[in-house]
Amino acid sequence: MTSDSRFLVSFARRCRDVTVTLIAGLWPGRDAEDIEQVVNNLPLRTQGLVVAGVLGLLFALSLFAAQFGLLGMAVFFLAVVVLIT
């Protein structure tokens, strides 16, 4: 396995972990392990769409928050941190 493919696998795994953590933070009564199991049971294409959708929404929300300047970005980052912890 080349270093490029190892990087891509690692990057994809991290994106998936962020997605699972964000969904678990928004879904009361479910933890990250439950969400990870649900995502694992989906077909690979659907898994990719879920990850891309969640990260795309996160990116869009960050752009919206940026419209409000430094205060908006601070609130956005605080909301993400509170959601993940």
Q: How many residues does this entry show for the chain?
A: 85
For the cut 80, the answer to whether the pLDDT of residue 85 exceeds it is no
Query: What pLDDT does 36 receive?
Result: 93
Torsion of CA 37, 77, 26, 53, to 10 degrees: -60
Query: What pLDDT does 1 receive?
Result: 66
Confidence bin at 84 (pLDDT 50/70/90): confident
Residues with Cβ within 8 Å of 30's Cβ and at least 6 positions away in sequence, in order, are 24
